[in-house]
Amino acid sequence: MPAGFAITETQIAALVPRFYDKVRADGMIGPVFAGAIDDWAPHLDTLIAFWSSVMLTSGRYKGNPMAAHMKHLATITPPMFDRWLALWAQVTAETLPTHIADALQAKAERIAQSLKLALYFRLPPRGTATATPGQET
């Protein structure tokens, strides 16, 4: 983002609860969050700190997103990340100037890709790969 055009803490603090209101009401991902989050107020504070750290390098977030998602691996599917991103794109576009929404959407896409790779990508054990047709091993 160009200098002078960064998101503010105030914008993040308004965006995150609005976004998670949509998430909680969503038929696909809402139930996963309902099963994972017992108390939304501190969770929203954590998410606000996360986005502050990601977008403003504030250092406010002290958690581990990978560990948080791993705990719920049995209930999270790859298409749920796409739904989360679609809602994120919708709410950021409705809430923020275009250049800021675009930056948040790009960052969220990179984070989602990283999480999906860590959660679901597994190389086959050594020695079990098969040759591509027409190639010798």
In this structure, what CATH number is given to the domain that contains residue 30? 1.10.490.10
Q: Is residue 63 part of a domain?
A: yes
Residue with tokens 């990508």: 121
Distance from C-alpha of 104 to C-alpha of 8, rounded to nearest angstrom = 12
- Number of domains comprising the chain: 1
Q: Is residue 128 part of a domain?
A: no
Domain region containing 42: 9-120
CA dihedral of residues 9, 10, 11, 15 (deg, nearest 10)? 100
DSSP 8-state assignment for residue 48:
H
Q: Is residue 24 part of a domain?
A: yes
Look at phi and psi of residue 2 and say left if phi exceeds 0, alpha if psi is from -120 to 50, else beta.
beta
Q: What is the residue-level pLDDT of the chain in tens, covering all 137 positions? A: 444 558 999 999 999 999 999 999 999 999 999 999 999 999 999 999 999 999 999 999 988 877 777 777 778 888 999 999 999 999 999 999 999 999 999 999 999 998 888 887 766 777 765 555 555 54
